[in-house]
Amino acid sequence: MENEKAEIRLSVSDFVGLVNQTFDFAMPSIVIVGEVSGYNVRQEKWVRFKLKDERCSVDFFGSTYQVRQPLEDGMIVAVSGRPRLSDKYGFSVSIQSVRPVGEGSIKRGFELLKRKLEAEGLFDIERKRPLPELPGRIGVISSTQAAGYADFIKILNGRWGGMQVEVAHTLVQGVNAPGQIVRALEYFNQSGEPPEVIVLVRGGGDPDDLAAFNDEALVRSIASSRIPTLVGVGHEIDVTLADMVADVRAATPTNAAQLLVPDRRELIERSRTYVRSMIPAYQGHLNDDRREVKDLVDTAEFVISERMRVLTDEVASTIKLLRQYDPSVVLARGYALVRGDIDIGGVIEVERAKDIIQAEVRSVSKK
């Protein structure tokens, strides 16, 4: 009798339902880490693989939407999922998200996705658009608590002003980050007053922290943005697929601000330099004009002095000539000047150099 009470009799369907309820209650979401084996994609929609370790292996099943990057056998991944007992396929873990774990697997996942997207031409140089020269509206996607965001805003405000900066606060690491960033990209692209450029920034971190920026859906969303994109993630040495697909890649968030706007201090200095450069040019022209005036004055002085010399010579000659006609000079040579009435009996005056004689005319005869 007691045995009958302890026994639970269920139909197969009820059993499956009960097991799934128990799983939901006990393990609503778990993360299992293991090595991928038997990786298989069907109809480009459904993904199936096993995760194994030294002793066990477990089946996993999901859609390509959940598995956001290509995998291959041998990669170590962390799968977030829910255990399910299917009435048709037996036990498996229903995949919610997958991310490679460990440097080797992260690198391999990166390479696989990079190769795939490269083949589609997503990184082609012909796709790159220039950033607006002086944007009036900027859309920023970042975590407002992140150091990279603070660096970007600080440098941006220091370099340029007068811009409308709209910030979409999102996660920038972890499994939920790509989805949030994709929605932020969609928000800006669908905005009634869209920004002229979208800037995606995040500071440095280890490869696992930056893995969100190697998410396939995020990379495709950046590629399809109708607004030009500028991505500055991590440090100089970190290159993510988001960087590669962006219209412009910045090495760091600080560099993103530098690429986006000019430095007002440089422009102020340049305008000062322009003004300063006018002074020597101005002085140069003044010196040229001074030289020209001096040359003219010199020429005028020469012409005037030459003319003076000629005139002086002419005056001297005239004086000399006039002297020849001076009666006193003739008298000095022994001649006499005769004045008066030249009639017989008339009185005449004879002027010599040193005396004047009065004489009476006794005879006048023709020569």
Partner 1 sequence: MAAWFESDEFSLTHASEKFEAASKLAKEIEHDLSEMENKVTVLKQSFEEA
**Smallest distance, Å, CB 231 to partner 1?**
17
**Smallest distance, Å, CB 295 to partner 1?**
16
Q: Which stretch binds partner 1 (CB under 8 A): 15-23, 168-176, 216-224, 295-303?
A: 168-176
**Smallest distance, Å, CB 50 to partner 1?**
28
Q: At a CB cut-off of 8 Å and minimum separation 6, what does 203 contact?
A: 146, 147, 148, 149, 151, 234, 252, 253
* Residues 121-150, mask of contacts with partner 1 (x by CB under 8 A): -----------------------x------
Pick 95 or 153: Cβ nearer partner 1: 153
Nearest to 163 by CA among 134, 137, 141, 197: 137
241 binds partner 1 (CB under 8 A): no
The H or E element that residue 264 is part of is helix 264-324
57 binds partner 1 (CB under 8 A): no
State the Rg of the chain over Cα.
Answer: 55
Residue 237's alpha-carbon distances to 4, 100, 152, in angstroms, are: 69, 20, 18
309 binds partner 1 (CB under 8 A): no
29 binds partner 1 (CB under 8 A): no
Q: How far apart are CA 298 and CA 94, in angstroms?
A: 103
Q: Which stretch binds partner 1 (CB under 8 A): 41-49, 89-97, 165-173, 206-214?
A: 165-173
**Smallest distance, Å, CB 150 to partner 1?**
11
Q: Contact with partner 1 (CB under 8 A): which of 166, 196, 208, 351? A: 166
Beta carbons within 10 angstroms of residue 51's beta carbon: 23
Q: Contact with partner 1 (CB under 8 A): which of 78, 79, 122, 153? A: 153
Q: How far apart are CA 212 and CA 222, in angstroms?
A: 13
**Smallest distance, Å, CB 67 to partner 1?**
17
169 binds partner 1 (CB under 8 A): yes
Q: At a CB cut-off of 8 Å and minimum separation 6, what does 170 contact?
A: 141, 142, 143, 177, 180, 181, 183, 184
Q: Contact with partner 1 (CB under 8 A): which of 89, 282, 302, 335? A: 282
**Smallest distance, Å, CB 297 to partner 1?**
17
The pair of structure tokens assigned to 123 is 């990184």
For residue 177, which amino acid is it? A
293 binds partner 1 (CB under 8 A): no
**Smallest distance, Å, CB 138 to partner 1?**
8
DSSP 8-state code for residue 196: S
Q: How far apart are CA 343 and CA 347, in angstroms?
A: 8
Q: How far apart are CA 157 and CA 31, in angstroms?
A: 42
Q: Which stretch binds partner 1 (CB under 8 A): 96-104, 238-246, 267-275, 337-345?
A: 267-275
Interface with partner 1: number of residues (CB under 8 A): 37
Pick 272 or 323: Cβ nearer partner 1: 272
176 binds partner 1 (CB under 8 A): yes
Nearest to 336 by CA among 315, 358, 303: 358
Q: At a CB cut-off of 8 Å and minimum separation 6, what does 125 contact?
A: none
Point out which residues bind partner 1 (CB under 8 A). 144, 153, 156-157, 160-170, 176, 179-181, 183-184, 187, 264, 267-268, 271-272, 274-275, 277-279, 281-282, 285-286, 289
